[in-house]
Amino acid sequence: MYPRLFQFGPVAVPTYGVFAAAALIAGLTLATRVAARLGLQPNQVWNFGLTGVCSAVIGSRLLLISGNWHDFVAYPMVMLTIPVPRTTDTVLLEIGLGIFAGLLYLTLKKMPWLRALDAAAPGWALGQAILMLGCFLAGCDYGLPTAMPWGVAFHSRWALLWNGTPLETRLHPTQLYFFLLQALLCLGLLWWLPRRKQAGEMAGIWLLISGLAQFFLDFFRGDNRPMILGDALSLMQAIDFCMVVAGAVLLLRHSSLREIEYAQEDV
């Protein structure tokens, strides 16, 4: 596909990076629109999302640089543009820093956690959908070989160099599978917004459905995924399982808690 979107002399502009920026802006913009519908301050929701995402991205990049300092000194632009390898350390660092920074911001601003998460859910789904299109064009998060007619073959040597993508082989377009999942979830959450009955419901729906679907879609991925439990499951599948549990907890909370929350929202 097109791992490099533009080339300015020795500097390559990666397609994934451009789509990541577009995903961030689009997701945050949608989150602010939903926040206004939920009685939250849009600028605070924007800062909440930006704080979480930037903390995750910067933290993982610093981890990559610290482990390859000599390469960074020799090729700084290359080290700043190549995708961060998806290892157990980088994945857990990104998730941990993102969650910690985001929830810390909500706490310091005294924002209701559940309503803020509800506002973020459709935007997160939209951002993930756009990001998966970037992955498809860049060749990352590729699938297993397949004989299905919708299989895709990559031909760019940059996809092989940057992501280890097999070339000239028909692969499951797992990026498009994940794109369709998140795009439909985004539309579904927006449709459900006026029907929302409790704080945390939209976040719970996204966590439950996204985690469950991604758990099974992960079996079709062929990239170098971090594995756990004697290679029985991938790290992302373990995270997906945690998402399903968290989503179920949000959706099955006792009705008395709902009444308390709505009383607090009306104050």
pLDDT in tens, 34-92: 999 999 999 999 999 999 988 887 877 777 677 667 766 776 766 665 656 566 666 77
Name the pLDDT band for 157 (thresholds 50, 70, 90): confident
| 263 has pLDDT over 50 | no
229: Cβ contacts below 8 Å, ≥ 6 apart: 238
| Range 216-239 average pLDDT | 86
Encode pLDDT of 26-45 as tens digits: 999 999 999 999 999 999 99
| Cross-strand pairs, 13 | 6
24 within 8 A of 53, measured Cβ to Cβ: yes
pTM: 0.83
Which residues are bridge partners to 154 per DSSP? 167
Tokens read off for 166: 């097999």
What letter represents residue 42's amino acid? Answer: P
Q: What is the pLDDT of residue 9?
A: 58
Nearest to 91 by CA among 60, 132, 126: 60
Tell whether the torsion through CA atoms of 91, 186, 114 and 23 is positive or negative: positive
- What's the pLDDT score for residue 255? 47
SS3 110: coil
Q: What is the pLDDT of residues 8-20, one digit of tens each?
A: 555 566 777 788 8
Q: How far apart are CA 205 and CA 211, in angstroms?
A: 10
Q: Summarize the confidence of residues 234-258 as an average pLDDT.
A: 83
Q: Which of 49-63, 76-90, 121-135, 250-264 has the highest mean pLDDT?
A: 121-135
Element (H, E) at 7: strand 4-8
Query: Which pLDDT belongs to residue 262?
Result: 45
Mean pLDDT of 159-179: 85
Mean pLDDT of the chain: 83
Q: What does 176-209 look like in DSSP terms, one character per residue? A: HHHHHHHHHHHHHHHHHGGG--STTHHHHHHHHH
Query: What is the per-residue pLDDT for 10?
Result: 55
